[in-house]
Every structure is written in C-alpha cells, then in structure tokens.
Amino acid sequence: MSWAWFHRLASPPRFYALAGRLVPWLGAAAGLLLAVGTVWGLVFAPPDYQQGDSVRILYIHVPAAMLAQSCYVLLAVAGVISLVWKIKLADIALHCAAPIGASMTALALITGAIWGKPTWGAWWVWDARLTSMLILLFLYAGVIALGQAISNRDSAAKACAILAIVGVVNVPIIKYSVVWWSTLHQGATFTLTAKPAMPAEMWLPLALTVPGFYLFFGCVLLMRMRTELLRREGRSQWAQTALRMALDSRRTQ
C-alpha cells in the first residue's frame, strides 16, 4: 500500500497539482518565520559577551550551513531513488535542488567569513570545517556542471546521481570535523537534543530562522520542480492543460 502511494505521488500530474497547493502555504510560513526571526536576531537580540554584535550573523549563517548539508543529503537520496527505481521525478528533484544547495553553501561561507574577520582576525583560514564546506560547494558545482554538460538526459541523470551519492560522505565530515580534528571553528551551541548553551533571548530567534530557511527551501524547490516538469513534459496532454490554465489565470488577474 505504501509503495503504491509513493508511485502515485511520483506521477508528474499528481505531483504538479500537489506542489501547486503547497507552495503558497510554504511561502507564507517561511516569510513569517524569516521576517520575525531575522528582525529579532539582527536587531533586538542581545550581543554576545565575548563576540559582541558580530554574533548576529549566526542567525543567517547557522540556518544556511544546516540547509546546505541537508540539501546535499536530499540529492544523495534522490540519486539512489533515480538509480534504483528509475523514478524521473527524483532526477528532477536532484536537478532543481542542486542550485539552491549551492546558494546556501555560498551564503554560509560568505557569512562565515564576515563572522570570522572580527573573531579570528582573518576572512579565511584553512580550518577543517571551512575546508569541508568549500568542498561541498565544489560538489554542488560538479552536480550542476554534469547536468548541463551531458546532453543525453538519462546519462546526465545517472552521472549526477552517482556524484551525489559519492559526495554525501563529505556531510558527516563537515558535521564532526570540529570533534575529529583540532579546529578554530566553535562547536555547536544549538542542537535539537541538548539544552541550548545560550540564553533564550538569543536562541529563540535562531529557532525561528532555521525552520524558516527549510520552509523557504521547500517552497523554492517545489516551484522549480513544477517549472522543470512542464519543460520536460511539455508535449503531454496534462502539461498543455496546466499551461493553458496558468495562462488563463494570468489573463483574468
């Protein structure tokens, strides 16, 4: 029964319709959480007793870094589904998620550099956490480049899936690098399983921006997947019907 439900969800017309219903709700929830969390964290949260106001960048840096790693795990899972069960929707998810993950990785690296300059006295150091995050950005770039360089869609899907699966080994390295090696990067101060190491007025904004980033990711991913579905399935009857409905909706607005 569960597998039948899974294959029904993977049907392009069903997924397109479901994603269309979810996008507005995800977008509204993400906008609310990000607006409240970022304003609270960047303006009203107290400064850190050691890092001062530079700690405020963590309200953007931490969610971006978490999402960058989670997104690559999604790529690997989609790669497995694409290779084993030959579900085309998995390849579409991988193709559409990779640029978002690359953007989040770049944002994490940039905000980390902004935080590192006043904290460490340098924009960049060859720290284990930073280096493994840079490798993650290269992996994302590799997946994107493979998808664009190989003209045959099936061959491109297979190559991207293999790279995503192989590259996922870097994610636990990122997570545990501060434990395995001597590193400048501080350990986690906010986890789901332990009491936060910071006062509530500092971690509560982070508790809003983290799910806000994930909901934003879900919203953008579904929007990109809907567009890619129409591009690939443009000759099918359901896609042409969906396009006509979208054009009619725009004309009536």
Q: Are 85 and 55 in contact (CB under 8 A)?
A: no
**CA-to-CA dists, residue 38 to 25, 69, 71, 103, angstroms:** 20, 21, 21, 18
DSSP class of 48 = B
Range of the domain at 126: 58-229
Q: Which residue has the higher pLDDT, 45 or 216?
A: 216
Instruction: Return all residues near 124 (Cβ < 8 A) that are at least 6 apart.
Output: 113, 116, 130
Q: For residue 249, is it within any domain?
A: no
The angle subtended at Cα 207 by Cα 211 and Cα 21, nearest 5°, is: 20
Q: For residue 193, is it within any domain?
A: yes
pLDDT of residue 20: 95
Phi and psi at residue 148, to the nearest 5°: -90, -25
Please report the DSSP string for 79-126 in residue order.
HHHHHHH--HHHHHHHHHHHHHHHHHHHHHHHHHHHHHHHHHSSS---
Q: For residue 222, is it within any domain?
A: yes
Q: For residue 1, is it within any domain?
A: no
Q: What is the 3-state secondary structure (H, E, C) of 168-179?
A: CCHHHHHHHHHH
Q: For residue 121, is it within any domain?
A: yes
Please tell me whether the overall predicted TM-score, pTM, comes out greater than 0.85 for this model: yes
pLDDT of residue 7: 64
Joined tokens for residue 181: 């090696």
Q: For residue 155, is it within any domain?
A: yes
Q: What digits encode the pLDDT tens for the residues 53-99?
A: 888 999 999 999 999 999 999 999 999 999 999 999 999 999 999 99
Minimal CA–CA distance to 212: which of 53, 26, 20? 26
Q: Report the distance separating Cα 70 and Cα 74, nearest Å.
A: 6
Q: Which residue has the higher pLDDT, 5 or 197?
A: 197
Q: For residue 210, is it within any domain?
A: yes
Q: What digits encode the pLDDT tens for the residues 9-51?
A: 678 899 999 999 999 999 999 999 999 999 999 999 988 877 8
Q: Report the distance separating Cα 215 and Cα 31, nearest Å.
A: 9
In the predicted model, what is the mean pLDDT of the chain? 89
Q: What digits encode the pLDDT tens for the residues 112-170?
A: 999 988 888 888 888 889 999 999 999 999 999 999 999 999 999 999 999 999 999 99
The number of distinct structural domains making up the chain is 1
Q: For residue 33, is it within any domain?
A: no
DSSP class of 52 = B
pLDDT of residue 200: 81
Instruction: Return all residues near 81 (Cβ < 8 A) that are at least 6 apart.
Output: 87, 90
Is residue 181 pLDDT above 90, yes or no? Answer: no
